[in-house]
Amino acid sequence: MIRLDKLSPGVKAEIEKIDTDKLPLKLIEMGCLPGNLISIVQKAPFNDPLYIKIDESHLAIRKETAKDIFVRLI
């Protein structure tokens, strides 16, 4: 299990665990839940923010937020 911010672009993973106390509610509503597929589409310069894909949703999140999402490589 690794943190999402350590995932390389293009690598697919499954969300294993999230820290619901630190994660914004909007991310949870958009499907950032254990069991869903996630991948990093692109990293901005200095790796912040991260452009991610959760199932069919695309969004950008801060690196600090990505540290609260733990994934398992597929």
Going residue by residue through the chain, which has 74 residues, state the pLDDT in tens, using 9 for 90 and above: 999 999 999 999 999 999 888 888 888 888 899 999 999 999 998 888 999 999 888 999 999 999 999 999 99
Give the model's pLDDT for residue 50.
94
pTM here is 0.87
Give the model's pLDDT for residue 48.
86
Give the model's pLDDT for residue 60.
93
Give the model's pLDDT for residue 4.
93
Dump the DSSP string for 10-74: T-EEEEEEE-TTTS-HHHHHTT--TT-EEEEEEE-GGG-SEEEEETTEEEEE-HHHHTTEEEEE-
* Domains of the chain, earliest start first: 2-73 (2.30.30.90)
